[in-house]
Chains A and B, each alone.
Chain A
Amino acid sequence: MSAITHFFEVFTGSYDLFLKGLWLTFELSAASLLIAFVIGLFFAILKISNIKVLQWIADAYIWVVRGTPLIVQIFVLYYGLAEIFLIPMFWAGAAGLAFHSGAYIAEIIRGAIQSIDKGQREAGRTLGMTSGLTMRRIILPQAFRRAVPSLGNQFIIGIKDSSLVSFIGMQELFGVASTMGSNNFDYLPYYLTVAIYYLFIVLILTLLVNMLEKKLAQSD
């Protein structure tokens, strides 16, 4: 009984700090996922290009990301970027997260592009469109629609993964929870609180993705 009231006291009493952390998580996720999307699109196009060297570059990138833990990537990029090149911590963290998500997004987009019927490309080409124009106007719009569920899923993973940048000292949601937990020698209520914040974010995002899917399905 007292444990539960204690948790509610922590939950309601700590909102100002958690909201700050939430805002940082939001900024980090938005920045990193936007960059990751650009990286992902870039490497997806390298992978489907007919040029072997470009394919190898994309394969190497995806191999490195898949083959190392995210926390290692974050530390390497942090110590590499923030300490040597004096890039602000926020951008070092965002870069680490983007570098990671980018590989998965690249594979999602590549799969979606390759799932579009080849007749679509042929129709564009026989109308006199260049391959670049066909990709931009015909293939990618359809591929993105098809990728929405997987991209939404990857974005959710990306938001949860952003908690790892607390290990380079960023006070985003999880950072706030660990700091307050250890300052008060009282861990569980803060970690439970942060879990509720994450659940809330993911719930909102899931609903948004579902709405988008429904909206896109109408035109198909």
Chain B
Amino acid sequence: MSEKQEMIRVEKLNKSFGKLHVLRDIDLTVKESDVVVLIGASGSGKSTLLRCLNFLEMKNSGIITIEGEQIEESTHNLNKVRERVGMVFQHFNLFPHKTVIGNVIEAPTQVKGMKKEQAIKEGKEMLDKVGLGDKYNVYPSTLSGGQKQRVAIARALAMKPDVMLFDEPTSALDPELVGEVLSTIKELADEGMTMVVVTHEMGFAREVGDWVFYMHDGKIVEYGPPNELFDNPKEERTQAFLSSIL
């Protein structure tokens, strides 16, 4: 345990939207190759926490450390930080005016200055990895939701991030398409990718997660390995939440 590098460390993180206090004194550590799953009811702050980790939302107070480096929005180039932290959204957010491969090579060529041929070669490898190697030349509008999300995963992977954040990656999908996306994420986890996943898929949390955090009202109520948290929740609120969804 101890020799694994800390990829993300969050201490006493607070975030408010106006009067609404969304995150309260959050502490969270994610180590290399860990899969951390955030669960909780809608409005509990899971997505906001995730969005604070790559500075789509700016914290009000607290400390966020990424790969040993304490990040402050005033002194750090957040774009450089975001290159190392990939994100996959609930609604995919593919670029509709670009083809699948165009989506995948956009950031490597524009941000990292990679040569187009090289980016296409690597991009096709990424697409093969998510099982969409044959779709590289079509526009996203022709794909199913599950395929779109897998392209979005390939797009994020093309930047070779050290950490991946998943914000409810299957919540916008038809039930029959959830499996293909979850198995893609699971493969990534098996390869040792460090990831933080916000999800309502408890089966996935149990199977793939190394740590499960239960959030309620902007606080982390309880966390632990999935077996402990799911089978022997210690807090009453966790028990109530789990019995309401299982």
Residues of A within 8 A of B (CB): 117, 119-120, 122-123, 125-130, 133, 137-138, 141-142, 145, 219-220
| Given A126-B54, A126-B56, A128-B107, A220-B96 contact (CB < 8 Å) | yes
Is B204's CB within 8 Å of the partner chain A? Answer: no
Q: How far apart sit A123 and B97, CA to CA, in the bound complex (Å)?
A: 14
Complex alpha-carbon distance, A179 and B96, angstroms: 52
Give the CA-CA distance A9 to B245 in the complex, in Å.
84
Q: Is the CB of B159 within 8 A of A128?
A: yes
Q: Is the CB of A145 within 8 A of B97?
A: yes
Given A128-B82, A133-B110, verify A119-B91 contact (CB < 8 Å).
yes
Is there an interface contact between A219 and B79, defined as CB atoms closer than 8 Å? no
Contact (Cβ within 8 A) B141 A129: no
Contacts of B216 in A (CB 8 A): none
Once A122-B56, A137-B110, A220-B139 are accepted as A-B contacts, the answer to whether A127 and B82 lie under 8 Å apart by CB is yes
Q: Could you name 16 residue pairs across A and B whose Cβ atoms are closer than 8 Å?
A: A120-B95, A122-B56, A122-B87, A123-B89, A123-B152, A125-B82, A126-B86, A126-B156, A127-B83, A127-B106, A129-B106, A129-B107, A138-B95, A145-B97, A220-B139, A220-B141
Q: Which residues of A contact B111 (CB under 8 A)?
A: 127-129, 133
**Whole-angstrom CA separation of A130 from B77 in the bound complex:** 10
B80 close to A137 (CB less than 8 A): no
Query: Whose C-beta in chain B lies nearest to the C-beta of A129?
Result: B111
The distance from the CB of B139 to the nearest CB of chain A, in whole angstroms, is 6
A128 near B80: Cβ-Cβ < 8 Å: yes
Check B2 for interface membership: any CB of A closer than 8 A. Answer: no
Q: Mark B72-107, 1 if CB is under 8 A from A, else 0.
A: 000000011011011101010111110000000011
Q: Which residue in chain B gives the minimum CB-CB distance to A122? A: B56
Contact-residue size bin, chain B (C-beta under 8 Å from the other chain): 20 to 34
Query: Which chain B residues border A142 with CB–CB below 8 Å?
Result: 95-97
Q: B126 to chain A: closest CB distance in Å?
A: 13
- Indicate if the CB atoms of A123 and B93 lie closer than 8 Å: yes
Query: For the complex, what is the distance from the CA of A96 to the CA of B95, rounded to whole Å?
Result: 38
For the complex, what is the distance from the CA of A126 to the CA of B78, rounded to whole Å? 9
B59 at the interface (CB under 8 A from A): no
Query: How distant is the Cα of A141 from the Cα of B83 in the complex, in angstroms?
Result: 23
3 closest A-B pairs by CB: A128-B83, A127-B107, A123-B93
**Cα–Cα, bound, A97→B184 (Å):** 56
- In the assembled complex, the CB of B138 is this many whole angstroms from the nearest CB of chain A, namely 10
Residues of A within 8 A of B156 (CB): 126-127
In the complex, the answer to whether B97 meets A126 with C-beta atoms within 8 Å is no
Most-contacted residue by chain B among A119, A120, A123, A142 (CB, 10 A): A123
Asked if B155 is at the interface of the complex by the 8 Å CB criterion, the answer is yes
Residues of B within 8 A of A129 (CB): 79, 106-107, 110-111
CB <8 Å contact, A219 and B97: yes
Q: A122 contacts B141, CB within 8 Å?
A: no
Please report the C-alpha to C-alpha distance between residue A141 and residue B95 in the assembled complex, in whole angstroms: 10
- A148 to chain B minimum Cβ distance, whole angstroms, is 13
Other A-B contacts than A219-B97, A219-B141, 14 sampled, CB-CB below 8 A, are A117-B91, A119-B89, A122-B56, A122-B93, A123-B89, A128-B79, A128-B82, A128-B83, A128-B107, A128-B111, A133-B110, A138-B106, A141-B97, A142-B95
Q: Let me know if B79 and A130 touch, CB within 8 A.
A: yes
Complex Cα spacing A119 to B88, Å: 11
B159 touches A127 (CB 8 A): yes
Q: Which residues of A lie under 8 Å from residue B107 when comparing CB positions?
A: 127-129
CA distance A175 to B106 in the complex (A): 50
In the complex, which residues of chain A have a beta carbon less than 8 angstroms from the beta carbon of B96?
142, 219-220
